[in-house]
Amino acid sequence: MSRSCDEPGGVLKRPEGDIVIAIAGNPNVGKSTIFNAITGLGVMTAHYPGTTRAVHTGTARAAERIVGVIDLPGTYGLSGNDEDARVARLALLDLVPDVVVVVVDPVNLARTLYLALEVLDLGFRVVVAANLADEARRAGIALDAEGLSARLGVPVVPTVGTAGTGVRAVVDAAFEAAGTTPTRSPGYGPDFEALAEPLVRACRDAGCTPGGLPPHAVALALIEGDDVMAAQVDAQVVSVASRVRSAIRSHFGEDASVRLARERHGLAGTIGDAVVTRTGEKRRLPRDWWALTTWPWTGVPLAALVAGAVFAFLFFAGAFLAGVFSAVWQALASPGITSVVEAVAGDGVLSRVLLWGLDAGIEASLSVGLPYILVFYVVLGLLEDTGYLNSLAFLTDRFMHRLGLHGRAIIPLVAGAGCSVPALVATGFLPTKRERLIASTLVMFIPCSARTAVILGAVGHYVGWQYTLLVVGIVFVMWLSIALVLQRILPGESHGLVMEMFPFRRPSFRRVMAKAWDQFREFLFVATPIVVAGSLVLGGLYENGWLMNVSRPLEPVIGGWLGLPAVAGVTLLMGMLRNELALQLLVVLAVSTAGYAGANITDIMSPTDLVVFALVNTIALPCISAVAVFWRRNGLKRTLAVVGASIVLALTIGGIVARVLPLLGLE
């Protein structure tokens, strides 16, 4: 049971507990599922001081014991130059966990054991979680967990993180390991160890134990050329390290750090070959899916098919669910709410204002949130859990280079279709400042699920799917134009993408639903009160005849240029709190204007008005949460430029469409 987790941007500190464990692994082994299974926490972002890389911390209860848990950034190793590796290493050395749980993949054991050897080299107690055990069985691969444990000298526990299988055994093994002496790695080739021995001896004799590291760990760090470590040891030890590095280079004909990496890879491969066997010649269909989804001749049509299927599902399923919800609400909830309000407040202005919020407001919030936003989060979760988003990154790498990015940037861009805020956070994982700026700017112009709900709820439901595609097409052309302009005006170039091939996986329905609910819960408990409050404000203005006075200053732009009812400007401005509020409050206005039974937005807006309204809401004024995150990451000047550009583009495109659509025959 989870007790706490660091807030985003908070000060990173060692969590409290009877023991503290850190969870390490590369991004594709389900490391975070182990963390979530232990703590019960969803993904939350807490950045390591001075970096953009996240280190999650939490506490959990296991029987009568408290466990502090640290989730390190996903990385293939600790000695690389990338920020993920650097932060993972710093977090281990600064937070000093009692045990490190290294998550490996039995299907690709040799590749994922490299990190375990590095952690052992640092002198930490280790428990190996052989995750994705179900995928290994389906691939016809058997792991000798006892044999691997014997070779490494540490506990090895098969797990299925998405199902929680083996997770309790990992925690129990960590408690047992916490009371033991740390185990050294099995050792590398005799020639390498002999050449390194003088440095190990020098570290031992000089008492060099920075951060409590054993002499062997300090020696290997110096062989790797760790400048931070070199600054913490005696000059004599640094001199010995220089001689040892030269000796290794002379003996093996390559740099000492490269040779150490080669020794680790060789040892990991030897161990992997010894403890992994194939139980049959099963066809690796998931690998075939990877090939199909990344080869352009099949991947591009499949990507278009997936996008079309998602759009169609949201359009038809959302419309059906919205209709069902509205009918149920009108039949069951609305009469009861009306009776209670009238019994308490009478049959006057006050009761009518209360019904704006308690009846129409709640209905408006849920009629958009449940059919469209929750459904979208479920669909996005399925795509992510299968691994399709990673193959999409590989497929789109060449195209993304034309936008000044690389393929991995597709992940925050796709995530932006769910919610801009986590997508903006995810852009921080891109390697250069230029790529982070381009990606975060593009995220601000991607229709998030809230904006998509407005498009589907206003245009799709009342005007037709053809005009829904028109709105999406206009927004995409605008977005692509912005991307090409940014690519030209911002100096620099994008980096190449290096990605390991890994098999597709069966999605966990429980995990997908839990993740979707986690994201939707924020909307439910944050947006609904705002909708109710906004509905009460609108109701008070409307019932007292003040609404038109408030909206009159907006008339030249909203009415004169865009051709919308002036009151729509009020809902657009309030929509900056959350984009879907614009449609929901507009629904409230329609409901109250036409009466509670059978109300319809088309009572106050024409089809052309709805298309223009959806366009302006989609392009202009990103939600205030997204603006705040963008500001924090890119500064005030760039934030004002992006917000200003969004308003100008929205008004320009909206005004043009308002004049063109009637010429094409739309009312």
Condensed to tens digits (0 to 9), the pLDDT of residues 541-567 reads: 767 767 667 767 878 888 888 888 776
Q: Are 412 and 426 in contact (CB under 8 A)?
A: yes
3-state helix, strand, coil in the chain (%, to 5): 65, 5, 25
- Does the structure show a pLDDT above 70 at 472? yes
For residue 624, count other CB atoms closer than 10 A to its CB. 12
What pLDDT is recorded for position 290? 65
Burial (CB count <10 Å: 0-12, 13-18, 19+), residue 665: exposed
Tokens (6 digits) for 30: 């389900």
What pLDDT is recorded for position 537? 78
Give the span between the Cα atoms of 440 and 421, in whole angstroms. 10
Hey, which residues does 71 pair with through a beta bridge? 23, 56
Average model confidence (pLDDT) for the chain? Answer: 78
Which 3 state secondary structure label does DSSP give 219? helix
pLDDT band at 284 (very low <50, low <70, confident <90, very high): very low
Sign, CA torsion 104/110/111/113: positive
86-105 average pLDDT score: 87
What pLDDT is recorded for position 311? 64
At residue 277, φ and ψ (nearest 5 deg) are -130, 150
Q: Are 25 and 74 in contact (CB under 8 A)?
A: yes
Q: What is the DSSP code (8-state) at residue 10?
A: P
133-150 average pLDDT score: 84
At residue 15, φ and ψ (nearest 5 deg) are -70, 155
Is it true that domain 190-278 has CATH number 3.60.15.10?
Answer: no
At residue 215, φ and ψ (nearest 5 deg) are -55, -40
Q: Are 357 and 507 in contact (CB under 8 A)?
A: no
What pLDDT is recorded for position 656? 93
- Does the structure show a pLDDT above 60 at 85? yes
Q: State in words which class domain 2-178 has.
A: alpha beta
Q: CB within 8 A of 520, min separation 6: which ones?
A: 369, 373, 374, 377
pLDDT band at 156 (very low <50, low <70, confident <90, very high): very high
* Most confident of the following: 5-19, 153-167, 376-390, 623-637: 153-167
Q: Are 202 and 237 in contact (CB under 8 A)?
A: yes
Chain-centre distance for alpha carbon 458: 28
pLDDT: which is higher, 628 or 199: 199
* Most confident of the following: 69-83, 140-154, 177-191, 300-314: 140-154
Which 3 state secondary structure label does DSSP give 115? helix
Minimum mean pLDDT among 166-180, 340-354, 423-437, 467-481: which range?
Answer: 423-437
What pLDDT is recorded for position 8? 40
What pLDDT is recorded for position 641? 92
Q: Are 158 and 249 in contact (CB under 8 A)?
A: no
Which 3 state secondary structure label does DSSP give 84? helix
Which 3 state secondary structure label does DSSP give 482? helix
| Domain ranges for the chain | 2-178, 190-278, 294-663
What pLDDT is recorded for position 431? 66
Condensed to tens digits (0 to 9), the pLDDT of residues 322-338 reads: 778 878 888 888 888 88
Give the span between the Cα atoms of 59 and 429, in whole angstroms. 25
What pLDDT is recorded for position 128? 92
pLDDT band at 117 (very low <50, low <70, confident <90, very high): very high
pLDDT: which is higher, 267 or 41: 267
121-128 average pLDDT score: 90
133-143 average pLDDT score: 79
Closest CA to 613 of 558, 534, 537: 558
Burial (CB count <10 Å: 0-12, 13-18, 19+), residue 468: buried
Closest CA to 542 of 522, 565, 525, 558: 565
Q: Are 461 and 452 in contact (CB under 8 A)?
A: no
Give the span between the Cα atoms of 323 and 328, in whole angstroms. 9
Q: Are 279 and 141 in contact (CB under 8 A)?
A: yes
387-394 average pLDDT score: 74
Condensed to tens digits (0 to 9), the pLDDT of residues 584-632 reads: 666 666 655 554 444 566 667 788 888 888 888 888 877 666 776 788 7
Tokens (6 digits) for 356: 């704006």
* Most confident of the following: 80-84, 178-182, 321-325, 572-576: 178-182
Minimum mean pLDDT among 100-109, 147-156, 211-220: which range?
Answer: 211-220
99-107 average pLDDT score: 89
- Does the structure show a pLDDT above 80 at 197? yes
Give the span between the Cα atoms of 429 and 490, in whole angstroms. 19
Greatest Cα pair distance in the chain = 94
Task: Indicate the residue type of 647.
Answer: I
* Angle subtended at Cα 197 by Cα 195 and Cα 199, rounded to the nearest 5 degrees: 95
What pLDDT is recorded for position 523? 61
660-666 average pLDDT score: 81
Q: Are 392 and 292 in contact (CB under 8 A)?
A: no
Task: Indicate the residue type of 485.
Answer: V
Chain-centre distance for alpha carbon 332: 38
295-310 average pLDDT score: 79
Condensed to tens digits (0 to 9), the pLDDT of residues 416-462 reads: 776 676 677 667 667 677 888 888 899 889 887 777 777 777 787 77
- Does the structure show a pLDDT above 60 at 502? no
Do 190-278 and 2-178 fall under one CATH topology? no
Closest CA to 377 of 514, 206, 567, 175: 514
pLDDT band at 315 (very low <50, low <70, confident <90, very high): low
pLDDT cut 70: percent of the chain above it: 79
